[in-house]
Amino acid sequence: MTSVSDAPPAFNGRAIAAIYRFEMARTLRTPLQSVVSPVLSTSLYFVVFGAAIGSRMQEIDGIAYGAFIVPGLIMLTLLTQSIANASFAIYFPKFTGTIYELLSAPVAWWEVVLGYVGAAATKSVVLGLIILLTATFFVPLRIEHPFWMLLFLVLTAVTFSLFGVIIGIWADGFERLQVVPLLVVTPLAFLGGSFYSIDMLPPLWRTVALFNPVVYLISGFRWSFFGVADVGVGVSLGMTLAFLLVCIVATGWIFRTGYRLKN
Amino acid sequence: MPAMSPIISVSGLSKTYASGFQALKTVDLEIRQGEIFALLGPNGAGKTTLISIICGLVNPSTGTVKADGHDIVTDYRAARAKIGLVPQELTTDAFETVRATVSFSRGLFGKRKDPDLVERVLKDLSLWDKRDTQIRRLSGGMKRRVMIAKALAHEPRILFLDEPTAGVDVELRQDMWQLVRRLRESGVTIILTTHYIEEAEEMADRVGVISKGEIILVEDKTELMRKLGRKQLTLSLQAPLAALPESLAGYDLILAAGGDEIVFTYDTKAERTGITALLQALGEAGIRFRDLNTSQSSLEDIFVSLVRGRS
Ligand SMILES: Nc1ncnc2c1ncn2[C@@H]1O[C@H](COP(=O)(O)OP(=O)(O)OP(=O)(O)O)[C@@H](O)[C@H]1O
Ligand SMILES: [Mg+2]
């Protein structure tokens, strides 16, 4: 056989690319489920909260209610889609058994994760931008800090895709795959200020809300749009990076020990 | 076969699963470069466990494995780059096309895109017509061929086939053996497991028998076949014997069927089988027989007696 080079590269970029392309192809095969349905459900939020209820709401921090909820809605989609995409992507090969190939290939765990997280995060970011575009049809929007907006978008997508990878490895059935997003992430996202400013809460609940990590994500993201925030933008960025770090460390531990991947 | 450095060396390998079950006791095994090695063993013997450890799917409990000189744990990239695996279970993607999934495998192993090579592999496996078909639309036998194509996509030097012919029809089985021979000719070392002893007999250069997590025999097939050269002569006696007379002590005899039969084991390849002398000695001892027949033990018999002997 030809071209059998002896020393394999210390970095398997082709494997990352192969996994990334595989995952992107999977999305493009199911555009209805991947793109249309999140866009549709977000549009419904705009119609219900923005137009119907929003018209009876006063402005928050000088921002029309319809516009105020846009960053929160994008975050909501970003969180749920990143987790859903990445956890499914890693769980499915485990479920069908095709993971044997990943385990037998000359790839490091972080290369595998990079492929999956890269694809899941790409999808969420694109989706977030599509929703942003959709939103401009419903409400007038301004983005004061576009760079920070993109940074928060990408950081959040990456962080929660990693979180999704962890869930996908931990899950040993479809139920477990659903349980964390449904019972933990969605409530945290709803209570994290997607539809209100936590300053509107009574003092006690405001303190409780500060334990919700999603508050920091939404607050920072909203600041990048309107320049107003519930908490300082530095704190938001710090919390996002901290959560990213926790996810990286946890993923590293999982792969090094072979937890739930190798017997 | 000339002495060559082993392409795979397994030493002191054991595996205890999380359930506490010890699937491998202490396995030491060397696979020679370029050979076809057949691993035979009953269900649950540990064949898949052994292969899974070598290929990186299962963590070993103790011991080390080197593939082409590279430790499979500390130097896993180099080791795995050499190895292709076709697992026992049919596990494929569903919605990808045949060509896409084979190209994916090549990328995963860090190899440059090579459409010509993928085409060759698919043609070798009679999958070229199905190249743009989604895998879920293929028959079981075709899916197995897809798995072989995936394993070959990165041009491995060592190929593991875990029961490649289970659930495969006669024609495909023939195709597969032809492919295996071609691969061997191109220098690929092949390790396969099978329940079909004829397959090991026909294909392998060496045969290893594993039972209850232990390798109980590794032998050149020709050597094994020489052992197979042993035949048994069964003499049905006219009158049953209580014991064999002293005068026959020099022969490899067993009194069987409650004294009705004498079984003589001899080597067909030996200079003299000793049959003439035995018959003469029997006549002198006054033992008469009414019938006789000979039988040859097969690899299967040896295999069964080896495995039984352990339990
Ligand atoms: N993940 C696991 N956890 C616990 N025990 C296991 C696991 N995988 C395999 N075993 C046990 O280890 C033993 C060896 O299994 P293995 O699959 O290696 O056998 P095998 O020789 O390949 O059998 P077969 O011919 O049926 O494929 C069996 O008793 C099996 O039940
Ligand atoms: Mg097996």
Inter-chain touch B110–A26, beta carbons under 8 Å: no
Q: Nearest chain B Cα to A15, which residue?
A: B108
Q: Which residues of A touch B96 (CB under 8 A)?
A: 22, 25
> Which has more pLDDT, A201 or B94?
B94
Closest alpha carbon to B121 in B130, B133, B110 = B130
CATH superfamily, region B8-225? P-loop containing nucleotide triphosphate hydrolases (3.40.50.300)
Closest alpha carbon to B55 in A99, A81, A259 = A99
Strands (E), chain B: 6-16, 22-32, 36-40, 62-67, 70-71, 83-86, 158-162, 189-194, 206-211, 214-220, 230-237, 253-256, 261-267, 289-296
Instruction: Spell A1-31 as b/e; 16+ CB within 10 A means b.
Output: eeeeeeebeeebebbbbbbbbbbeebbeeee
CA distance A107 to chain B (A): 7
For residues B160-187, average pLDDT: 86
Q: Is B160 on the interface with A (CB under 8 A)?
A: no
Which of A85-89, A150-154, B24-28, B265-269 is predicted least confidently?
A: B265-269
Tally of CB atoms within 10 A around B189 = 26
Closest alpha carbon to B144 in B121, B167, B120 = B167
Q: Which residues of A touch B18 (CB under 8 A)?
A: 263
Measured over the CA atoms of residue A195, residue A200, residue A202 and residue A207, the dihedral's sign is positive
Q: How far apart (Å, rounded) are the C-alpha atoms in residues A203 and B204?
A: 78
> Which has more pLDDT, B177 or B4?
B177
The full set of domain ranges for chain B reads 8-225, 230-297
pLDDT at residue B27 is higher than 70? yes
pLDDT value for B159: 96
pLDDT at residue B311 is higher than 60? no
Q: Tell whether ligand 1 has an atom less than 6 A from the beta carbon of residue B213.
A: no
pLDDT value for A1: 39
Q: How far is the CA of B194 from the centre of ligand 2 (A)?
A: 9
Q: How far apart (Å, rounded) are the C-alpha atoms in residues A121 and A158?
A: 5
What are the tens digits of pLDDT across the range A123-181? Answer: 999 999 988 888 888 788 888 899 999 999 999 999 999 999 999 988 888 888 888 87
What are the tens digits of pLDDT across the range A23-73? Answer: 999 888 877 777 788 788 878 887 777 677 767 777 777 777 778 888 888
Q: Tell whether ligand 1 has an atom less than 6 A from the beta carbon of residue A263.
A: yes
pLDDT value for B265: 82
Confidence of residue A2 (pLDDT cuts 50, 70, 90): very low
Q: What is the ipTM of this complex?
A: 0.83
Which of A138-142, B203-207, B270-274, B283-287 is predicted least confidently?
A: B270-274
Tally of CB atoms within 10 A around A176 = 14
Q: How far apart (Å, rounded) are the C-alpha atoms in residues A23 and A78?
A: 17
Q: Is B267 on the interface with A (CB under 8 A)?
A: no
Q: How far is CA B289 from CA B119, B196, B238, B282, in A?
A: 66, 37, 5, 9
Q: Is A15 on the interface with B (CB under 8 A)?
A: yes
Q: How far is the CA of B204 from the centre of ligand 2 (A)?
A: 18
The overall pTM is greater than 0.90: no
pLDDT value for A258: 64
What are the tens digits of pLDDT across the range A217-256? Answer: 888 888 888 888 777 888 889 988 998 999 999 888 887 7
Give the residue, by CA position, lying nearest to ligand 1 atom 6: B17
Name the residue of B15, B21, B51 whose CB sits within 8 Å of the most ligand 1 atoms, as the mutation to test its pocket: B21
Q: First vs last Cα of chain B: how many Å apart?
A: 33
pLDDT at residue B154 is higher than 80? yes
Q: Is A256 on the interface with B (CB under 8 A)?
A: no
What tokens appear for B254 in the block?
């067993």
Q: Do residues A224 and A141 touch, judged by C-beta distance below 8 A?
A: no
Confidence of residue B222 (pLDDT cuts 50, 70, 90): confident
Q: Do residues B131 and B102 touch, judged by C-beta distance below 8 A?
A: no
For residues B226-234, average pLDDT: 74
> Which has more pLDDT, A43 or A9?
A43
Q: How far is the CA of B89 from the centre of ligand 2 (A)?
A: 9
For residues A101-124, average pLDDT: 92
Query: In sequence order, which residues have a C-beta less than 8 Å from that of residue A92 and are 6 or more positions away?
Result: none
- Domain B230-297 has what CATH class? alpha beta
Inter-chain touch A262–B59, beta carbons under 8 Å: yes
Q: Give chain B's radius of gyration (CA, Å).
A: 25
Inter-chain touch B81–A106, beta carbons under 8 Å: yes
